């Protein structure tokens, strides 16, 4: 039995379906003359690609206070019967509802001030591509109305509005969030 080269083993490992049991991996021919190529792609990889194409990663710059307030707003909404069971979904709902407003309504939002020094960080959220498309369309509408927010500033306004709504629905207060939110809330 000849030993396959590292190149052949790497090609085989990349080409194989991760769901295939180990005993099927070992039954492959071990010829280093012809590299192994997959006959068909595994259906699980196609599903993963399809799922990945329906979401987009959105980075939003938030100060520590804004991030804490957002987590508090999310928890308050959930405790008051909200539907978003993950923080990213809550952010997406905040962006969707803010995008549904008119440019004139968004212009009445208090502007976010720039900090003297950088204290926050960019937080990334996976959200539906439709939500990101609506956000970008709303930003273009704001630009046509003479307002030029960055995507991060626009999302910050959306989050601040959602936090204010959560505070109002929670009788003027917000819960203190834990340092790390659970991946998914369960009722």
Q: Which pLDDT band holds residue 134 (cuts at 50, 70, 90)? A: very high
Task: Please report the pLDDT score of residue 5 as a whole number.
Answer: 84
Model confidence at 13, pLDDT cuts 50, 70, 90, reads confident
More reliable by pLDDT, 110 or 86: 86
Q: What is the pLDDT of residue 12?
A: 73
Q: Which two tokens stand for residue 126?
A: 């996976």
- Residue-level pLDDT at 30: 45
pLDDT tens by residue, 42-97: 444 444 444 445 999 999 999 999 999 999 999 999 999 999 999 999 999 999 99
**Does residue 3 have a pLDDT over 90?**
no
pLDDT in tens, 152-161: 999 999 999 9
Query: 171: phi > 0 → left, psi -120 to 50 → alpha, else beta; which?
Result: left
Contact 85, 76 (CB under 8 A): no
Q: Please, what is the average pLDDT of the chain?
A: 82
What are the residue ranges spanned by the domains of the chain?
A: 6-34+41-50, 56-169
Give which of 118, 124, 153 is closest to 139, Cα–Cα: 153
Altogether, the residues listed in the chain come to a count of 187
Q: What is the mean pLDDT of residues 5-13?
A: 78
């Amino acid at each position: 039995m000849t030993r396959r080269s590292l190149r052949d083993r790497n090609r085989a490992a990349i080409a194989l379906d991760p769901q295939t049991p180990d005993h099927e991996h070992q039954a492959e021919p071990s010829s280093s003359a012809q590299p192994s190529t997959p006959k068909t792609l595994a259906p699980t990889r196609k599903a993963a690609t399809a799922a990945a194409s329906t979401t987009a990663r959105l980075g939003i710059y938030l100060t520590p206070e804004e991030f804490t307030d957002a987590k508090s707003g999310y928890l308050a909404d959930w405790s008051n019967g909200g539907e978003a069971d993950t923080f990213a979904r809550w952010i997406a709902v905040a962006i969707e509802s803010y995008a549904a407003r008119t440019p004139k309504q968004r212009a009445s939002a208090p502007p976010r001030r720039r900090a003297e020094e950088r204290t926050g960080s960019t937080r990334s959220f996976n959200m539906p591509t439709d939500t990101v498309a609506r956000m970008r369309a709303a930003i273009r509408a704001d630009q046509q109305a003479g307002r030029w927010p960055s995507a991060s500033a626009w999302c910050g306004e959306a989050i601040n509005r959602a936090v204010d709504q959560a505070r109002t629905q929670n009788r003027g207060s917000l819960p203190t969030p834990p340092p790390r939110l659970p991946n998914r809330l369960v009722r």
